[in-house]
């Protein structure tokens, strides 16, 4: 789009008076060199009603400067004024860009229509049109656009993503999944492209189809972190916790930063051996110890929780409200009722505070009658 902008910048002619600055010509030079703010200052000095002023050039430069400075509403106004002076398909394309920045999808489609055949030559402009049609819920038109244009631009993966989303919008879920699956083997497909396809199915709540697609994507990109995370997320959503843990474990062998996530999924699956093994691989000491605390509490190994107390304090975790409550609860469960109150001191978090009150009450009762609590 920057090439398009600069192709429209035509320098104004020299000033009649050699001592007079031609602000329009100077603004064009500034725009060419990437100084949009300085160009705006020069353009503000130009009188649009002046007899010698090239009004098309003036409004065009103002529109381009506004686009460069992320002022799309002003850009729309100035570019529309330029079109009132002279019809130009490239100016319509600039209006489409301003509409996209504003998320004014009706303006995007109208502007691309105004650009005529020029808007169908570049796959990026086709994707812009398709995206706008999807946002306007004109799914049939979006599908027809992609079906027609993929014949001319078969490598435009973005068009396929739009086609899948259009099929979902038309509630043709199986066709959408089949189209997405057909793309996974394409050489030009990147992991990001594949993730967008899967995510379209996920957001449409077509879990089975999304899983089929992400499984195929996993075969294609087995070591990609984001593919692994989305695959595990979908398996969790399908309540296949052990499968999700296994998937993340494979990824964690390649990317050690996923060790904590793998340990957490194994904990959820009730596989304490694997959870502890992956917890031991976590490189950050605070993260490792904090998660180990959670693992021990879940496994009801309260004596070991209490043994971590001094290490938690050394690493600065002892002041965390959830850690305080975990230690107090472990003291309660091991019969150290007299320690519960001091361990709960300082808890401020609303979500933990009410639990702490109940635990204090229980500890007080048990101090009176320890035998009745054990």
Q: What is the DSSP letter of 369?
A: -
What is the distance between the alpha carbons of residues 206 and 183, in angstroms, rounded to a whole number? 18
Confidence band of 16 (pLDDT split at 50, 70, 90) = very low
Query: Which of the residue ranges 124-133, 177-186, 302-311, 334-343 has the most confident prediction, judged by mean pLDDT?
Result: 124-133
Is residue 43 within 8 Å of 58, Cβ to Cβ? yes
Express each pLDDT in 228-285 by its tens digit.
Answer: 999 999 999 999 999 999 999 999 999 999 999 999 999 999 898 999 999 999 988 8
Closest by CA to 180, choosing from 192, 203, 191, 196, is 196
Confidence band of 172 (pLDDT split at 50, 70, 90) = very high
- State the pLDDT at residue 8: 56
Q: How many residues does the chain have?
A: 374
The pTM is what?
0.70
Confidence band of 2 (pLDDT split at 50, 70, 90) = very low
Confidence band of 224 (pLDDT split at 50, 70, 90) = very high
pLDDT, average across residues 75-104? 94
Question: What is the separation of C-alpha 124 from the centre of its chain, rounded to a whole number of angstroms?
Answer: 20
- State the pLDDT at residue 110: 96
- State the pLDDT at residue 14: 45
Distance in angstroms between the alpha carbons of the first and the last residue of the chain: 73
Express each pLDDT in 196-205 by its tens digit.
Answer: 889 888 888 8
Give 318 or 100, the one with higher predicted confidence.
100
SS (H, E, C) 2-64: HHHHHHCCCCCCCCCCCCCCCHHHHHHHHHHCCCHHHHHHHHCCCCCCCCCCCHHHHHHHHHH
Is residue 302 within 8 Å of 333, Cβ to Cβ? yes
């Amino acid at each position: 789009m920057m090439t398009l902008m600069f192709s429209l910048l035509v320098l104004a002619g020299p000033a009649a008076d050699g001592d007079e600055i031609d602000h329009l010509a100077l603004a064009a030079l500034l725009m060419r060199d990437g100084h949009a703010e300085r160009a705006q200052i020069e353009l503000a000095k130009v009188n649009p009603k002046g007899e010698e002023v090239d009004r098309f050039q003036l409004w065009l430069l103002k529109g381009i400067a506004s686009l460069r400075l992320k002022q799309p509403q002003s850009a729309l106004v100035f570019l529309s004024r330029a079109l009132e002076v002279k019809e130009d398909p490239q100016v319509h394309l600039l209006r489409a860009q301003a509409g996209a920045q504003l998320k004014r999808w009706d303006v995007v489609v109208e502007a691309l229509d105004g650009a005529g055949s020029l808007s169908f030559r570049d796959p990026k402009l086709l994707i812009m049109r398709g995206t706008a049609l999807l946002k306007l819920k004109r799914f049939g038109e979006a599908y027809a656009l992609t079906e027609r244009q993929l014949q001319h631009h078969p490598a435009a993966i973005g068009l396929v993503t739009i086609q899948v989303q259009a099929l979902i919008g038309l509630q043709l879920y199986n066709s959408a999944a089949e189209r997405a699956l057909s793309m996974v083997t394409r050489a030009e497909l990147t992991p990001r492209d594949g993730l967008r396809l899967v995510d379209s199915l996920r957001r449409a709540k077509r879990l089975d189809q999304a899983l089929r697609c992400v499984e195929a994507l996993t075969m294609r990109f087995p070591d990609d972190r984001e593919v692994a995370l989305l695959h595990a997320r979908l398996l969790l959503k399908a309540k296949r916790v052990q499968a999700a843990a296994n998937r993340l474990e494979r990824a964690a062998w390649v990317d050690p930063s996923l060790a904590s996530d793998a340990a957490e999924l194994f904990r959820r699956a009730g596989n304490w051996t694997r959870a502890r093994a992956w917890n031991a691989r976590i490189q950050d000491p605070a993260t490792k110890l904090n998660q180990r605390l959670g693992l021990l509490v879940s496994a009801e190994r309260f004596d070991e929780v209490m043994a971590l107390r001094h290490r938690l304090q050394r690493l600065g975790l002892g002041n965390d409200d959830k850690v305080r409550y975990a230690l107090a609860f472990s003291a309660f469960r091991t019969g150290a009722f007299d320690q519960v109150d001091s361990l709960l001191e300082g808890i401020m978090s609303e979500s933990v505070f009410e639990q702490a009150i109940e635990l204090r009450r229980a500890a007080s009762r048990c101090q009176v009658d320890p035998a009745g609590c054990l």
